[in-house]
Amino acid sequence: MTVAEPAPKPITSGKDPRFAPTLYAHVGQPESWTLDYFQRHGGYQGVRRAFAMGPDAVIEEVKKSGLRGRGGAGFATGLKWSFMPLKDGKPHYIICNADESEPGSFKDRYLLSEDPHQLIEGMLIGGYAMRASVGYIYIRGEYVHAAERMWAAIQEARAAGLLGKSVLGSGFDFDLQVHRGAGAYICGEETALMNSLEGLRANPRLKPPFPAAAGLYGLPTTINNVETFCAATQILKYGADWHARMGTEKSKGMKLFQISGPVARPGVYELPLGTTFRELIYDWAGGPLEEMKAIIPGGSSCPMLPWDDRVLDTPMEYESVAAAGSMLGTGGVTLIPKADCIVNATWNLVRFYGHESCGKCTPCREGISSWMTRMYEKLSRGHGQPGDVQLILDMSDNIGGRSFCALADACLGPVLSSIKLFREEYDQLAHTEQAMYPARRRWRDS
């Protein structure tokens, strides 16, 4: 049995004193996951302030901060929290989506394993604001170490009166549970996640009703990402004005950006929203190690962008990246070298989505898992024919916007953008045996 090497520690912001790291301030420090360390560094001060303010004021504070969900959609967090019904007499639930399965994303695992009490405090704040008495942390099954750290932190918090009955003597009852998933990408979709929590097959549900009205066990539920809850901890600790001063007018605060691919220093960087791709790639990650052709700006489901000055100088915030033709997503930036075959790179993503489809709806089950995967395999193995690229485009027209959830559309992001940007590579593979990519030849001949 082989044991995988531990992941390298993330590199965080620190060059600019105005933007000292907060979410990652203690990642990598000795004993940072313990309650004693967390409290010695100001832990659980935010929830004390929340109790003094009252639940409605907490929601207004989060709204004022301008915090937007960090899981990919970028929806206003305070507004989302306000959707939970008040005084309905029903139990309320909150869920932390820690099923970090988007290729190119690897920021949340460090928060889970290195600073779990920051997440616990954020969920305490969210639970108090939304009148929830129980919270669930749904952790990706492969994150064994993170799940163990979270459980240990929860037990510490319970023993210290920070979870359970009348937290800190406030009269507010709240407890947390950890649920490990089984490695299903579809559980990143909030309703599929809830089905999995209930012991059902992880298929997405029809919306409406939305989770705030009928979520886990048919009761009001709100789901947020790990980074979002941790950001709430810092907002209640330092104030909404502090958070709103960072970032841009519409995308406020700090963000955990991940960068992977052939760069000098791949890793996680905590930077203000609005930092450009050029700053991330060259100033922080040390620059590319070879010539590039494309960027995936926010995780594998985001459309590719070309490697040019316009894209490199685009601020990494929701509106600017959308105007450039893609999405900020989770902030997982992936660089694609010029020497790589774009069809092979896209096939790798298409295979992933085909494998992860839950199979509930026809456009995804037959369109992505079957036809799209087979078409890319045909091209990549050198069996392409004239008309194959147009067939992929026609299939995409029949799949896009017609699946039960967003998984099929997520697959089409890299498919359509790669054809738009690099049609000549597709046409070459569709007409002749391509020999310009040594990596592909080595793979095929092995």
Instruction: Determine, yes or no, domain membership for 281.
Output: yes
Q: Before 55, cis peptide (omega within 30)?
A: no
CB neighbour class for 206 (10 Å; exposed up to 12, middle 13-18, buried from 19): exposed
Last residue of a domain, one of 337, 354, 379: 337
Amino acid at 284: W
What whole-number percentage of the chain has pLDDT above 70?
A: 92
| Mean pLDDT score, 400-411 | 91
CATH number of the domain within which 350 lies: 1.20.1440.230
Question: Are 56 and 39 within one domain?
Answer: yes
What is the per-residue pLDDT for 49?
Answer: 96
Last residue of a domain, one of 319, 337, 355: 337
Residue 374's pLDDT band, with cuts at 50, 70 and 90, is: very high
| Mean pLDDT score, 51-64 | 96
CATH number of the domain within which 294 lies: 3.10.20.600
Place of tokens 């958070």: 243
Residue 8's pLDDT band, with cuts at 50, 70 and 90, is: very low
Full-model pTM: 0.90
**Helix, strand or coil, per DSSP, at residue 285:** coil
Rounded-to-10 torsion of CA 293, 297, 299, 301: -80
Average pLDDT, rounded, for the chain:
90
What is the per-residue pLDDT for 20?
Answer: 62
Token pair, residue 239, equals: 């104030």
| Mean pLDDT score, 387-408 | 92
Give the Cα separation of 350 and 344 in Å (integer): 10
Residue 412's pLDDT band, with cuts at 50, 70 and 90, is: very high
Give the Cα separation of 328 and 348 in Å (integer): 21
| Mean pLDDT score, 237-262 | 93
Last residue of a domain, one of 318, 337, 356: 337
Place of tokens 């490990």: 180
Give the Cα separation of 106 and 258 in Å (integer): 7
Give the Cα separation of 425 and 379 in Å (integer): 10
> Domain of 193?
35-244
What whole-number percentage of the chain has pLDDT above 90?
A: 83
Q: Which stretch of DSSP H or E encloses residue 12? A: none
Residue 223's pLDDT band, with cuts at 50, 70 and 90, is: very high
- What secondary structure letter does DSSP report for 369? I
What is the per-residue pLDDT for 431?
Answer: 61
Give the Cα separation of 274 and 255 in Å (integer): 9
Question: Are 318 and 203 within one domain?
Answer: no
Residue 182's pLDDT band, with cuts at 50, 70 and 90, is: confident
